Structure 1
């Protein structure tokens, strides 16, 4: 028998409801992803454009699978993981605690970098990073998803204007851009290509997509077309960011043989190049976009991953308090706010590392461990009897999830091999 929410139909003007997909996309595309794409352009011109596009398609498949599980079953992805055995609870529980500590410092540092460049005579990176963390905490602590979504939309618009405007300013070679869609592997680019496919817009927040769909009020299979439209528009937007940054790398850096620093600091190098070529106004405009990309990830992670942690806590507590939290307001619950505090204050100690190279390496390895887990567990869950037959995986979904799972396993092994043992 169909439940009430399954009978409800979404409004016909679906474009006005777009939101959760943009939140997950803007959260996932941080400063590091923009640098990775731009460096691809600086090294290989437009040759690896196809790899960035494939990466976006993989994220579409993962986010769609997460949203489909939530809508088709009415259960969360963590609830699904629990049916696979206790190992998933232990894996995810340990992972989300360690990842939150490392990511908190990484995100705050990335948000502080453009502010230091914009205000060179102002406070230190430690101050700006800590301030970004506290502002993210306050934004999520006192607001619900509806307000968080609106804030993320503003950041998405700012990123779009800055990144696309910069690409137009440097002037793309449309012929070469079209040629980059043909799969080609330049010498020495295999590992780098795999990283580009797996890295752009790929974080733990892909698993949070289903929670944001629920927070939006979408419940039941009737919302499946809306979710898919939302997801596709979001990753088309991500694709525009990727293409724009590749254009900047190819036209502004590749032609001049300019190398960037790896990681988020590479965007500061680009700011210097822009100031030299176009003047300080363009450079400052870009730095505001850099801040938008970094700080939007702070807000998105602070909200979405806190929802994931809350679900983990309440579903592993057999007592009455756990059941009450499960049925109540999760955005005001103790686990949600405890994880917010965990993301914000303990990681501030890592900001005092003068050269946190180990932090960056640790964050990269941790990210590599989650994505194969997400892809392969979704592959399993969406082929089981827990999902109504109509909404189980088809051949394309199975191929996309299996292929991305293998890809992320290869990247995970590569990350471990690259560790400075």
Structure 2
């Protein structure tokens, strides 16, 4: 029996399945405050009618992230090495994107994480919490190895999951209406919400970071394929439960209260007011803790995962390759990007995101997910890109990836138009 075959047999043992981890990290990182608001707003407007879109979104994310992980395990290459093999255009897209995205996201993530803290401790200004959470994320990532980072993320996931799912049970979901919501329907005016639920919730650049976290975990060979798939599926099932719980809160609590949820992250503070009025201060404060956990898990996830992506990108651009120490965790390129995410974006907390930068972020950011879906199609189908025949796509996987690409392009166009409209109108 070959070494890989022996490893495969060993990994099929349930004891080995206790090492589940990177999938939970990528799923938790992908669900931020904006996703929670989108789900909450959809539930308050349409009840459970769009529940099917959440289920579809979970399935598509499982396919997309599994593809990124499968490419890494089957070839031993990083996703950036795969993109580079497609030609120059992915490099020219990814390079500017990761710099602009990181600059604007850093400020956005710090502000989101600061909101629940400022609500819990109103005597402290929002900007102070924003700076503090950015520095806290910086320190946790700068001084810790992957194993510690994963454990911290698991604690935050536990907090956010327990808080939001408990809130959903407290809201007493209408089971017959939920069952009816599994039948695909599009109420009038619901297209954007449907796209957001199916394509946007739990989906960011960090989906592409999954392969890098697999490498940090030590899952580097095809023998880990089965465990990787289980890890990814379990993580996104948990994400689906979390998102459905937010939909329940929107449908049962916000809609019943007749309150309009504000746009952006502050919509979650509107929910806090509703929860306090309905259930009391304890529940309102517990929700703020869950809100903080969800937002801060995205901070440290991006600080770690996207910094790994940048390190690999820049090491390859410098001709060093993906195995060079500078391309790895805590290498000098990794540390540069952690600094880039943390300190320059603090200027945006004072400058209120200049209009031109917001527009550029909207243009590049809206089209990243279709970029990932589209590039995975050739990478996972053609022998020239290094994936052995046994690990290439099957017909159903290609169909799912094609649907994902179309959905993300559609969602990207909506987001792009919305970003331009806001930039011009703002």
Tell me whether the two structures share a fold, i.e. TM-score over 0.5.
yes
Sort the Cα spacing of 1:410 and 1:310 in 2 relative to 1 into closer, same or farther, 3 A.
same
Q: Deviations over 1:361-409 (max 9, x none)?
A: 7655443110010000001110110210010011111011111111111
1:113-262 equivalences under 5 Å are: 113-122=115-124, 124-262=125-263
**For the residues of structure 1 that align with 2:6 and 2:216, how far apart are their CA atoms?**
18
- Counterpart for residue 85 of structure 1: 87
Counterpart contact for 1:325–1:333, Cα < 8 Å: no
Counterpart contact for 2:62–2:233, Cα < 8 Å: yes
Deviation at 1:171, TM superposition (A): 0.8
- Counterpart for residue 112 of structure 1: 114
- Counterpart for residue 371 of structure 1: 369
Sort the Cα spacing of 1:366 and 1:118 in 2 relative to 1 into closer, same or farther, 3 A.
farther
Deviation at 1:289, TM superposition (A): 0.4
**For the residues of structure 1 that align with 2:113 and 2:360, how far apart are their CA atoms?**
19
**For the residues of structure 2 that align with 1:360 and 1:233, how far apart are their CA atoms?**
35
- Counterpart for residue 61 of structure 1: 63
Deviation at 1:164, TM superposition (A): 0.4
Deviation at 1:57, TM superposition (A): 1.1
Deviation at 1:129, TM superposition (A): 0.6
- Counterpart for residue 347 of structure 1: 345
Sort the Cα spacing of 1:83 and 1:69 in 2 relative to 1 into closer, same or farther, 3 A.
same
Counterpart contact for 1:106–1:359, Cα < 8 Å: no
Sort the Cα spacing of 1:332 and 1:218 in 2 relative to 1 into closer, same or farther, 3 A.
same
Counterpart contact for 1:5–1:219, Cα < 8 Å: no
Which of 336, 339, 352 does residue 338 from structure 1 map onto? 336
Counterpart contact for 1:6–1:221, Cα < 8 Å: no
Give 3-state SS (helix, strand or coil) of 1:263's partner.
Answer: coil
Sort the Cα spacing of 1:68 and 1:17 in 2 relative to 1 into closer, same or farther, 3 A.
same
**For the residues of structure 1 that align with 2:202 and 2:53, how far apart are their CA atoms?**
13
Counterpart contact for 1:315–1:326, Cα < 8 Å: no
Which of 53, 75, 81 does residue 51 from structure 1 map onto? 53
Sort the Cα spacing of 1:111 and 1:373 in 2 relative to 1 into closer, same or farther, 3 A.
same
Sort the Cα spacing of 1:355 and 1:275 in 2 relative to 1 into closer, same or farther, 3 A.
farther
Q: Deviations over 1:155-208 (max 9, x none)?
A: 111011100010111111111111111101111112321122111000000000
Deviation at 1:121, TM superposition (A): 1.3
**For the residues of structure 1 that align with 2:236 and 2:168, how far apart are their CA atoms?**
18
Give the TM-score normalised by structure 2: 0.94
**For the residues of structure 2 that align with 1:362 and 1:246, how far apart are their CA atoms?**
31
Point out the more displaced range, 297-306 or 365-374. Answer: 365-374
Point out the more displaced range, 327-336 or 150-159. Answer: 327-336
Matched, 1:388 2:388: yes
Q: Deviations over 1:319-354 (max 9, x none)?
A: xxx359625671121000000000000000111245
- Counterpart for residue 324 of structure 2: 326
Counterpart contact for 1:47–1:179, Cα < 8 Å: yes
| Equivalent residue pairs, number | 416
Deviation at 1:413, TM superposition (A): 1.7
Give 3-state SS (helix, strand or coil) of 2:264's partner.
Answer: coil
Point out the more displaced range, 399-408 or 5-14. Answer: 5-14
Give 3-state SS (helix, strand or coil) of 1:346's partner.
Answer: coil
**For the residues of structure 1 that align with 2:296 and 2:366, how far apart are their CA atoms?**
22
Deviation at 1:253, TM superposition (A): 1.2
**For the residues of structure 2 that align with 1:169 and 1:205, how far apart are their CA atoms?**
32
- Counterpart for residue 402 of structure 1: 402
